[in-house]
Amino acid sequence: MTPAADPLLDVEGLCTRFFTKAGVVKAVQDVSFSVRRGEVLGLVGESGSGKSMTGYSIMGLIDPPGRMVAGRILFDGRELSSLSPEAMRRLRGNRIAMIFQDPMMTLNPVLRIDAQMVETIRAHGRVSHSAALERSREALVKVGIPSPDERLKGYPHQFSGGMRQRVAIAIALLNHPALIIADEPTTALDVTIQGQILFEMQKLSRETGAALIWITHDLSVIAGLADRICVMYAGRIVEEGTTADVLTAPRHPYTRGLLDSVPANTPPRERLRQIPGMTPSLLEIGPGCAFRSRCPRAQDDCEHDPEMRPYGAAGQAIRCFHPLEAP
């Protein structure tokens, strides 16, 4: 399905910070990207790279002591950060939906599944209880859950991990959102189930035409699913491009390092490769390129902040003074 021309979501210069007793945590720094209708964007990074926080910022779910301090989030032409809480609430679960990492924690353990699904529908429209129940039932069927009528009356702990995540996906789709933000939805699941969920998500996004932002640390997961990829490091986007570009010909040393460290990418009998050093604490980020202490290509000018520089025709961009050449 070819995505339409005008972007559904346009994020520009997003900055989210947490003002804690220990100092200011710069969780998201100057993040810009856009997502077109029906497009699948992969947001890739290690834990602590700010990818989840980006998702929460878009949804307006950053709690004190955190705050979005700068930037613009345009969704369907509307500036999200200037919306009233009530207007934002009407968008959540309705036009923008979110799927979280661990469904056991995100589904309320003491409420029945049907209650948790019906309330999502009725929060966004005047729908009768029986009509909402019917829609919930259909949603469960669509995500491949057998005996939906029984399942509706059950409680979260009666489901397996994969099933619970399917329920979470079903809930996200209930109100036919235009954008779904999935925050590491398969990380907590068994590898075999991961594949199923991935397939499910891909099918559903194609069928419904919903745009998808898939947040993950696992490059292999994103390979078959995403149209475009943004790589994040220490709260910033360091590389952006089509999936093919980023995965086969990465320009940023960090992306190269990430790809190399995937065990499957190491020829047999060779030592596993890893990026030296550790991810910096977001509390102590100073000026300059955040990756320079671990980068084999770092030089003196890397002490200045590199900007995102676009190149190519397909909306690629890179934040580096000394990128790798494309082979």
Partner 1 sequence: MLVYVIRRSLQAVLVMFVMSVLVFVGVYAIGNPIDILINPQADQNEREHAIVALGLDKPLWTQYGKFLLGALHGDLGRSFVHSTSALGLILERMPATLELAIVAMLIAIALGIPLGLWAGLKPHSVAGRSIMAGSILGFSLPTFWVGLMLIMVFSVMLGWLPSNGRGPTTLLLGIPVSFTSVEGWRHLILPATNLALFKLALLIRLTRAGTREALLQDYVKFARAKGLSNARVIGVHVLRNILIPIVTVIGLEFGSVIAFAIVTESVFAWPGMGKLLIDSINLLDRPIIVAYLLVIVFMFILINLLVDLLYSALDPRVRLTESKG
Sign of the CA dihedral running 18, 86, 51, 3: negative
The distance of closest approach from Cβ of residue 88 to partner 1 in the complex, given in angstroms and rounded to an integer, is 9
The distance of closest approach from Cβ of residue 321 to partner 1 in the complex, given in angstroms and rounded to an integer, is 38
The distance of closest approach from Cβ of residue 95 to partner 1 in the complex, given in angstroms and rounded to an integer, is 9
The distance of closest approach from Cβ of residue 76 to partner 1 in the complex, given in angstroms and rounded to an integer, is 16
CB 189 within 8 A of CB 205: no
Residue 254, burial from CB neighbour count under 10 angstroms (0-12, 13-18, 19+): buried
Do the strands 96-99 and 179-183 form a parallel or antiparallel pair, or are they unpaired? parallel
Alpha helices in the chain (DSSP H): 51-59, 85-91, 103-106, 113-122, 129-142, 148-152, 161-173, 191-208, 219-223, 243-248, 253-261
The distance of closest approach from Cβ of residue 92 to partner 1 in the complex, given in angstroms and rounded to an integer, is 4
Beta carbon nearer to partner 1, 53 or 295? 53
The neighbour count for residue 104, using CB atoms within 10 Å, is: 13
Question: How far apart are alpha carbons 62 and 207 in whole angstroms?
Answer: 31
Report the amino acid identity of residue 15.
Answer: C
Beta carbon nearer to partner 1, 90 or 297? 90
Beta carbon nearer to partner 1, 173 or 320? 173
Query: What b/e string do you get for 149-175 counting C-beta neighbours within 10 Å, with b at 16 or more?
Result: eebbeeebeebebbbbbbbbbbbbbbb
Report whether the peptide linkage leading into residue 65 is cis, meaning its omega lies within 30 degrees of zero. Answer: yes
The distance of closest approach from Cβ of residue 156 to partner 1 in the complex, given in angstroms and rounded to an integer, is 9
Beta carbon nearer to partner 1, 6 or 138? 138
Beta carbon nearer to partner 1, 89 or 135? 89
List residues near partner 1 by CB under 8 A: 59, 61, 89-94, 97-98, 100, 102, 105-111, 119-120, 123-124, 155, 157-158, 171
The distance of closest approach from Cβ of residue 34 to partner 1 in the complex, given in angstroms and rounded to an integer, is 22
